[in-house]
């Protein structure tokens, strides 16, 4: 069976080669297809970045228009799929609703499942890019008991999502350009992050030649966990607890984290790869300050977050362990200012990560070195023993 290396958590095992995203964790560098994240966040749009991740190059205007038009033709959900939402409990978390509905796409769109048919992969790519935004908006509408809105294809993807989320069928929805731009930028920041837990999940599931919808649905479930995408929800819950239950006492909280009381962690801090700073967190922090000002929101949670960051960065516990704010630390404060309930935060992460997952799945399917993912183990169970019939045990 050959030599097996033991690497729990895959801290030093490369499971694939990839040309999509480059991270230098010591230098705090993140690039999509060679382009630095701050340049993309400052100048590009989410759809342009999606094109870049999926197809490898920035699009020409014509290519971008064609991509945008193709996506907008697929924003509708099948009426039968819409009925799925009625079956979930009213207080259902929108993440499992999202992953279930994405999984169900395999049953509605059976003509685009073959992972080796280029046209089918193209079709399921645009279907996902369009429909996941509609599904996310419906998951929200379901949770607040409001009617679903059909997409309006005269709007862009992000605009349409905001309208379907916050709008009502009976009245026009006024889009706030600051909010559209801020959400678009946040989606760019989340769009890919090489072999993180959910992307590795998409690759592992896809390595069995499972279709794109099934693989992405698995990635959404991986993202749900509080150590991964679920951290943005956990951060806001932590900040709210500090404000409401602990009277804003940040020092006490930091001490409890340092003493690891009941496994307390400073959510939104730390990263497997970034040991200097997370370049996304820097951009999000600036965004939080400007967008709250633009939206006229004064949120005490932002002050608590800033104090928490300041104290942690000056504390030996965090310094020694190289723990810095990650992308999730400030995003929740922005989502909250935009009017999203805490339960939707991880869904917004999933919307952003979608093109990255798709790009990795496609890269893997086209990689001649690709094999089914099948890790080995170190067996720690008992040695051979004899079966004893139940009456003699």
Secondary structure class of 181 (helix, strand, coil): helix
CB-facing half-sphere around the CA of 122: CA atoms within 13 A:
7
Is the distance from CB of 37 to CB of 327 less than 8 angstroms? no
Nearest to 273 by CA among 35, 37, 24, 19: 24
Catalytic residue chosen out of the listed positions 192, 271, 278, 360: 271
| Identity of the residue, 142 or 271, whose beta carbon is nearer to ligand CMC in the bound complex | 271
| Identity of the residue, 263 or 389, whose beta carbon is nearer to ligand CMC in the bound complex | 263
- How far apart are the C-alpha atoms of 254 and 315, rounded to whole Å? 9
Nearest to 269 by CA among 239, 246, 244, 289: 239
Closest distance to ligand CMC from the beta carbon of 172 (Å)? 36
Active site residue 193: no
Active site residue 328: yes
Stretch that binds ligand CMC, among 59-67, 169-177, 225-233, 359-367 (CB under 6 A): 225-233
Contact map string, positions 146 to 185, toward ligand CMC, x by CB under 6 A: ----------------------------------------
Residue 384, Cβ density class (10 Å: 0-12 exposed, 13-18 middle, ≥19 buried)? exposed
Query: Of residues 266-305, which lie at the interface with ligand CMC (CB under 6 A)?
Result: 266-272
Closest distance to ligand CMC from the beta carbon of 328 (Å)? 5
Closest distance to ligand CMC from the beta carbon of 41 (Å)? 16
Query: Of residues 251-270, which lie at the interface with ligand CMC (CB under 6 A)?
Result: 257, 265-270
Distance of CA 140 to the CA centre of its chain: 16
Instruction: Tell me how crowded residue 365 is: count the other CB atoms within 10 A of its CB.
Output: 18
Residue 219 near ligand CMC by CB under 6 A: no
- How far apart are the C-alpha atoms of 359 and 269, rounded to whole Å? 27
Residue 321 near ligand CMC by CB under 6 A: yes
Closest distance to ligand CMC from the beta carbon of 196 (Å)? 5
> Using CB under 6 A as the criterion, which residues of the chain lie in contact with ligand CMC when the complex forms?
9, 196, 227-229, 231, 257, 265-272, 321, 323, 326-328
Cite the active site residues.
271, 328
């Amino acid at each position: 069976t050959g030599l097996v290396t033991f690497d729990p958590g895959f801290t030093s095992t490369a499971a694939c080669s990839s040309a999509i995203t480059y991270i230098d964790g010591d230098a705090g560098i993140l690039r999509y297809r060679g382009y630095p994240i701050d340049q993309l966040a400052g100048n590009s749009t989410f759809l342009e970045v999606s094109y870049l991740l999926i197809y490898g190059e920035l699009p020409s205007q014509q290519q971008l228009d064609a991509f945008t038009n193709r996506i907008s033709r697929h924003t509708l959900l099948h009426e039968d799929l819409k009925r799925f939402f009625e079956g979930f409990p009213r207080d259902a978390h929108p993440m499992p609703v999202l992953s279930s509905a994405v999984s169900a796409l395999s049953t509605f769109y059976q003509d685009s499942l073959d992972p080796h048919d280029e046209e089918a992969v193209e079709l399921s790519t645009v279907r996902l890019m369009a429909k996941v935004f509609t599904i996310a908006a419906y998951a929200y509408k379901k949770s607040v008991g409001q009617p679903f809105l059909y997409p309006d294809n005269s709007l862009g993807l992000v605009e349409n999502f905001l309208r379907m989320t916050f709008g009502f069928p009976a009245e026009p929805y006024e889009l706030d350009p600051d909010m559209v731009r801020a959400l678009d930028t946040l989606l760019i920041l989340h769009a890919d992050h090489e072999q993180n837990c959910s992307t590795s999940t998409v690759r592992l599931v896809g390595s069995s030649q499972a279709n794109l919808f099934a693989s992405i649905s698995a990635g959404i479930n991986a993202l749900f966990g509080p150590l991964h995408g679920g951290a943005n929800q956990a951060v806001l819950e932590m900040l709210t607890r500090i404000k409401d239950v602990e009277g804003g006492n940040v020092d006490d909280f930091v001490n409890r984290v340092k003493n690891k009381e009941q496994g307390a962690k400073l959510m939104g801090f730390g990263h497997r790869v970034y040991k200097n700073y997370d370049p996304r967190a820097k951009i999000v922090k600036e965004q939080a300050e400007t967008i709250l000002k633009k939206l006229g929101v004064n949120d005490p949670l932002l002050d608590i977050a800033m104090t928490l960051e300041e104290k942690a960065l000056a504390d030996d516990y965090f310094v020694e362990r190289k723990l810095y704010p990650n992308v999730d630390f400030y995003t929740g404060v922005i989502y909250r200012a935009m009017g999203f309930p805490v339960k939707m935060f991880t869904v917004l992460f999933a919307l952003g990560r979608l093109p990255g997952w798709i790009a990795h799945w496609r890269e893997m399917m086209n990689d001649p070195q690709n094999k089914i993912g099948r890790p080995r183990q170190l067996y720690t169970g008992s040695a051979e023993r004899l079966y004893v019939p139940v009456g003699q045990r």
